[in-house]
Amino acid sequence: MPLTSNSEANDLPPTAVPTFPPTRHDALAQLDSFVSLAGDDYRSKRNYDFGPAKQRHVSQLSPYLRNGLISEAEVVSAVLRTHTYKDAEKFLQEVFWRVYWKGYLENRSYIWKDYREDLASLKIDAENDTPFHKAVSATTGIECLDTWSRELVETGYLHNHARMWFASIWVFTLRLPWQLGADFFLRHLLDGDPASNTLSWRWVAGLHTKGKTYLARPSNIARYTADRFETVSGLATQASPIDDSHPHHPAKYNEIPPPPSQLSQTEGLLVLDEDLRKHTPSLDSTSPVLGLYPERLYKDEDFSPKVARFRQACLRDTLDPLQSEHGCPIEHTTNPNADRIHEWATRHNLTTLYLANPQIGPWGDLWGTISPQLEERGIALSYFRPWWENELFAKATSGFFKFKKDIDQVADRMRTDDNSRDDGSS
C-alpha cells in the first residue's frame, strides 16, 4: 500500500470537528474566551479529554501559536492581566514548554537530522507493514487508538493526553517506530511543530529523559476520557526505553538578534508562513514584503491539505492588512526559490532581506538550500527572533526543571512590554 494520505483517510462518518478559522481575529477571540479558565479550571481539569468539539478545559490555541498568528508573549500577557503568575502557573508553564522544546531542538539540530534520516528508510519498510497501515487507517481494533487516529486526520487536533496515550500505544503496544508516528502527527496536526512533536515523541519513548518512558494505562484512559473508553484491553503493561542508536552531541546555542525596529529603503522583509509574529512593528508603507508559502514542500512531504490550507490562509490574513492598512507593497509566492526571491529583490532594489530565523524542521531544511544561492548573488540575509527566545533558548540545554527557574521573570517582562504597547490586540 502506498504511503500517501489516501491510506490514512477513512470511510467512517466524520465526528463533530473543532474548527480553527485561520484569522488573527479568531485567534484573539479564542484567547479572550479562554483567559478566565487559565487558573483553577485549567489546573484541575486540563487532563480530561472529552472528545472533539468538547474541549472546554484547554485553550486549543496551539494551531495559532504554532505559526505565530498570536505570539507566546500575547498569550502570557493576556493571562497575567486576569490571573497572578501563581494562579495560572500550570497553564503558563505549558506555554513555556513550547519555547523550551523549540530552543532544545535549535541547540541540538542533529536530533532533527538523525530523525529525518531514520524516517527516510523506515518509510520504505513501512510500505508493506500491516500494523503501520492499520494504525494510520484507524483499523487496529484498539478502539481508543482508532478513535484518535480518525480524530487526528479529520480535525487536525488532539488533546495533549490523547497524544501521550496514542504515542505510548504506538511505541510500546504496537511496537512501531516512534519516527513513523511523529511523521503521521506532523503531517496532520494543524499545530504540527518539528520541535514540540519530535521531542514529545522522544520523551514518550524514553529518549529525552534517559530511562523515563510514558506508559498508557487503561484505568487512566477510562478516567480522563469520562469513560468514553471504559474497557481498553491488550495494552502493553511495561514500557522499556527504546535504544538510541545515534550518538549525543553537546548543545550549541546561537544568538540571533531581535527584529529590526525599522527597515531602510534597500531592505525588504520575507515572511514565512510558519512564523507570522508581528516582528517589525514600525514597518512603513514603503517596505516591500514577500510572503513565502512552500506549496511543493507540503505536497512532497504529504502534509494533510487541511494543514497546508490553514497555513496559507493564515499567511494571507497576516499580510493583507499590511497592504490595505499601511500600503506596503506585498507579494506572495507559492514556490519559494532563489530565482523568485532574487527577481523580487532586484525589482525593488533591495540588497538586504530580513526574515524570522527559519525553524529547525522542514522549513529550515528548505531554507538551507535557498539561502546560499541568494548570498552567492549578493543578497545579504539578516535573521531575527523575538527577545524571549534569545533569553530562553540559551537555557534550553538540559531538562525543563532547570529551564523553568527563570520563566516567571520572562513572563513578567512579556506582560510589561505588552501593556506598554498601544496596539495591544490589532
Ligand X SMILES: Cc1cc2nc3c(=O)[nH]c(=O)nc-3n(C[C@H](O)[C@H](O)[C@H](O)COP(=O)(O)OP(=O)(O)OC[C@H]3O[C@@H](n4cnc5c(N)ncnc54)[C@H](O)[C@@H]3O)c2cc1C
List residues binding ligand X (CB under 6 A).
Answer: 46, 58-62, 65-66, 94-95, 97-98, 101, 159-160, 163-164, 167, 185, 189, 191-193, 196-197, 200-201, 204
Shortest separation between residue 178's beta carbon and ligand X, angstroms: 9
- Nearest CA to 182 out of 136, 150, 125, 229 is that of 136
Measured CA distances, 91 to 196, 337, 378, 410 (Å): 16, 39, 46, 15
Shortest separation between residue 34's beta carbon and ligand X, angstroms: 7
Shortest separation between residue 160's beta carbon and ligand X, angstroms: 3
CB closer to ligand X, 102 vs 279: 102
CB closer to ligand X, 63 vs 288: 63
d(CA 260, CA 382): 10
| Alpha carbons within 13 A on the beta-carbon side of 411 | 25
CB closer to ligand X, 37 vs 379: 37
Shortest separation between residue 65's beta carbon and ligand X, angstroms: 4
CB closer to ligand X, 57 vs 279: 57
CB closer to ligand X, 200 vs 359: 200
Shortest separation between residue 225's beta carbon and ligand X, angstroms: 15
d(CA 176, CA 132): 7
Shortest separation between residue 162's beta carbon and ligand X, angstroms: 8
In contact, 340 and 294? CB cutoff 8 Å: no
| The amino acid at 299 | K
| 364-373: Cβ within 8 A, 24+ apart | 364/109, 364/112, 364/194, 365/116, 366/294, 366/297, 366/336, 370/336, 370/337, 370/338, 370/341, 373/338, 373/342
d(CA 160, CA 57): 12
Shortest separation between residue 189's beta carbon and ligand X, angstroms: 5
Cell numbers 517506530: residue: 177
In contact, 358 and 364? CB cutoff 8 Å: yes
CB closer to ligand X, 310 vs 354: 310
| Beta strands across the sheet bearing 352-356 | 330-333, 289-292, 267-272, 352-356, 380-384
251-263 burial by CB neighbour count: b if 16+ within 10 A, else e? eeeeeeeebbeeb
Residues in the chain, total: 426
CB closer to ligand X, 90 vs 228: 90
Shortest separation between residue 101's beta carbon and ligand X, angstroms: 5
Shortest separation between residue 262's beta carbon and ligand X, angstroms: 30
**C-alpha grid cell, residue 281:** 512593528
CB closer to ligand X, 31 vs 126: 31
CB closer to ligand X, 134 vs 159: 159
